[in-house]
A and B are shown apart, each in its own frame.
Chain A
Amino acid sequence: MTVSSNTRSRRKNLLLDMMLFVICVLLLLPLLLLIANGFKTPQEILVWPPTILPKDPTLENFQRVFSETPLFRWIFNSLSFALLSMIAIVITSTLAGYVVAKFQFWTINVIFTLFLATAIIPFEVYMIPLYFQVKALGALNSIGGLLIGYLVMSFGIFLIRQNVIATVPDELIEAARIDGAGEFWIFWHIVVPLLKGPIAALSVLAFFQAWTTFAWPIVVLTRKTAFTIEVGLANFQSAYTVDLALLSAASAAVMVPSVLVFVLLRRSFVEGIAASGMKE
């Protein structure tokens, strides 16, 4: 390889890096500006070109948001809903995924296949009858009512099943059985520790799924104190549609923590999503 072709490819790579960098910044720009707007005075928000770093940063918008809306309450609601949904999905998926992977009983397999087939059916299709089920239980406007729609995840069962097949050898389970271990002991002390990675990925996926869901909470929740953060913000934005600084502050207050959490957990998240593409 000659020197000139080497510098040429290096220059090309530099160009590609610059291009990618610009694209990434452009993709993030609306969000960055939104956060910046949250810290701006009403005057500065109108300035053109918009500033990324406010000249005269103020916390007033945030104070107003927190005094005019039960934002903490909404965050608490979203957080408890997302955490409970995550726990429910991890438990149901891990148990069911392990059983369908390692216990060859045709009854179980038939039912599992049937359930897996429903995975492609969007939530919106059966949302209305589910609403009436929740209503019949008297669980409208509650975390419990929300949770009913998010207790199980077909993809979660599938993900755990694939990982059990790939990483838990039959011999290991057989050996534990010969040593007299009970089935539940085997599951808890042998299988679960081997599944740490996929369980982490599934947890992050399940949490974000519940955290960002919109259609279901907007149907189930009508009382302001029961809102999740998404529903609260959506209502807030239609009420204060002209107060841009206030809206931006409210969005930023919600967005920044969840983006930080995502950046911290990126590996697990990416693993989970990538696995979803490998369903074949």
Chain B
Amino acid sequence: MSSALVAAPNSNLEGKDKVSRKKRFWFAIIAILPTFAIFGWVRMFPIAETLRLSLFEWNLLSRNKPFVGLENFRELFQDDQFLDAIINTAAIAFGAMAVTIPVSMVLAAVIYHRTRSRFAGFYETAVFIPHVVSLVPAAMAWKWVFDAKLGPLNRLIVAFGGEAQPWLFDPVLSVICIILLVSWQTLGYGVLIYLVGFRNLPKSVYEAARLDGANGVQSFFFMSVPLLKPITLYVSVVTLISGFNVYAQAFILASDTQGAPGRLVRVLVLDMLENSFQNFRVGYAAAEAVILLVIVLVLTGVQFGLLRQRGRK
């Protein structure tokens, strides 16, 4: 352990200094050890377990856990339920991103433009509230909005001469409903991050553009959009990753597991928990978790790759 003491960049090695370095080192160790221990226990270990279990066939009820290699993964890609789940989840994640990015960017631009408005605080709060409200009550509000018979959405459509839609019963519409709910929730986050971005943009460039006769819309498209690209990238990846973890929204809006009316929209986390705790196939569920992990790593990798590419230019 004491070999760790050698690493300091400090060249002054008087006796007294050595003692105080030693003291400092022990303080650092004692202060950080509990956190490191907890990290190892509740994060590193279960992550490693997920990877390990994905290679085993572990039926919760049986005692033996045979090693099956990549068999779980091979089976997953022939499992209709899993494929259904991954398609729905990807549709929700990319759909929510496609809604969130442009809407939150425009909203942030307008809110930033009206920073001096008397209502600026209200705008920020109102946009952000959907992001902090607990998922379950929020999803329940939207379940009512989408309700086929009593929901305001259908009544509004009918009032304007349209045709009522079976929002939560149709396989495509129910996914769209979840996309809307997820977007409504992530919008506030996107606006907030974009607002920080707008505040950090160089004012002089905009002033110059204005003097050259560019109007607000032009400077938005030709300056803000390209200048904010790193932020767009960041918000996209965050939205995608949280989209791939969608669960509560689907659980409330579109699950008939407890006999509630409505169609089940199978998502990745739901399928994983079902395999683990209802079908008792833990190894199989762990393989699904590994696939979720790979998706997240790929998305993050793409983000870093694109950022580095930009940096090189």
A residues near B, CB below 8 A?
A: 13, 16-17, 19-21, 23-25, 27-28, 30-31, 33-34, 37, 45-46, 48-50, 92-93, 95-96, 98-100, 103-108, 111, 114-115, 118, 120-130, 132-133, 148-149, 151-152, 157, 177, 183-184, 187, 208, 211-212, 214-215, 218-219, 229-230, 233-235, 237-239, 241, 244, 247-248, 251-252, 254-255, 258-259, 262-263, 266, 269-270, 273-274, 277-280
Residues from chain A with Cβ under 8 Å of B297 in the complex: 120
Alpha-carbon separation in the docked complex, A56 to B247 (Å): 37
Alpha-carbon separation in the docked complex, A107 to B28 (Å): 11
Residues from chain B with Cβ under 8 Å of A177 in the complex: 20
Residue of A16, A37, A99, A214 near B114 (CB, 8 A) is A16
Q: Which of A33, A108, A124, A229 has the most CB of B within 10 A?
A: A124
Q: Does B13 contact A (CB under 8 A)?
A: no
Interface members, chain B 259-273 (any A CB < 8 Å): 259-261, 269, 272-273
Interface members, chain B 237-256 (any A CB < 8 Å): 241, 244-245, 247-248, 251-252
Q: Does B83 contact A (CB under 8 A)?
A: no
Q: Are B135 and A212 in touch, CB under 8 angstroms?
A: yes
Q: Are A130 and B133 in touch, CB under 8 angstroms?
A: no
Please, what's the 1-or-0 string for B1-17, where 1 marks a CB less than 8 Å from any CB in chain A? 00011011100000000
Residue of B27, B113, B137, B192 near A183 (CB, 8 A) is B27
Residue of A21, A30, A126, A280 near B46 (CB, 8 A) is A126
Please, what's the 1-or-0 string for B157-195, where 1 marks a CB less than 8 Å from any CB in chain A? 000000000000000000000000000100101001101
Residues from chain B with Cβ under 8 Å of A208 in the complex: 132
Interface size class of B (residues with CB under 8 A): 35 or more
B241 → A minimal CB distance (Å): 7
A267 → B minimal CB distance (Å): 10
B124 → A minimal CB distance (Å): 7
Q: Are A211 and B43 in touch, CB under 8 angstroms?
A: no
- A103-B24, A183-B24 given as contacts; is B43 within 8 A of A23 (CB)? no
Main secondary structure of the interface of A (DSSP, over half): helix
Q: Are B119 and A255 in touch, CB under 8 angstroms?
A: no
Residues from chain A with Cβ under 8 Å of B49 in the complex: 126, 129, 132
Q: Are B269 and A274 in touch, CB under 8 angstroms?
A: no
B117 → A minimal CB distance (Å): 6
Q: Are B134 and A230 in touch, CB under 8 angstroms?
A: yes
- A108-B28, A177-B20, A254-B137 given as contacts; is B46 within 8 A of A133 (CB)? yes
Q: Are A37 and B126 in touch, CB under 8 angstroms?
A: no
B111 → A minimal CB distance (Å): 7
Q: Which of A33, A96, A184, A266 has the most CB of B within 10 A?
A: A96
Q: Are B35 and A105 in touch, CB under 8 angstroms?
A: no
Residues from chain A with Cβ under 8 Å of B117 in the complex: 13, 17
24 residue pairs bridging A and B, Cβ less than 8 Å apart: A20-B119, A30-B145, A31-B130, A33-B141, A46-B150, A105-B5, A115-B36, A118-B39, A120-B241, A122-B292, A126-B49, A126-B50, A183-B24, A184-B31, A218-B251, A238-B257, A238-B258, A248-B140, A258-B132, A259-B129, A266-B128, A270-B192, A277-B231, A277-B234
Residues from chain B with Cβ under 8 Å of A129 in the complex: 45-47, 49-50, 53, 286
Residue of A nearest to B10 (CB): A104
Task: List 10 additional A-B contacts (Cβ < 8 Å) besides A106-B7, A252-B137.
Answer: A31-B138, A31-B141, A99-B31, A122-B241, A126-B289, A128-B276, A129-B50, A183-B27, A219-B273, A248-B144
Residues from chain A with Cβ under 8 Å of B45 in the complex: 129, 133
Alpha-carbon separation in the docked complex, A187 to B31 (Å): 10
Residue of B nearest to A130 (CB): B46
- A27-B187, A115-B43, A125-B296 given as contacts; is B144 within 8 A of A34 (CB)? yes
Residue of A122, A151, A214 near B248 (CB, 8 A) is A214
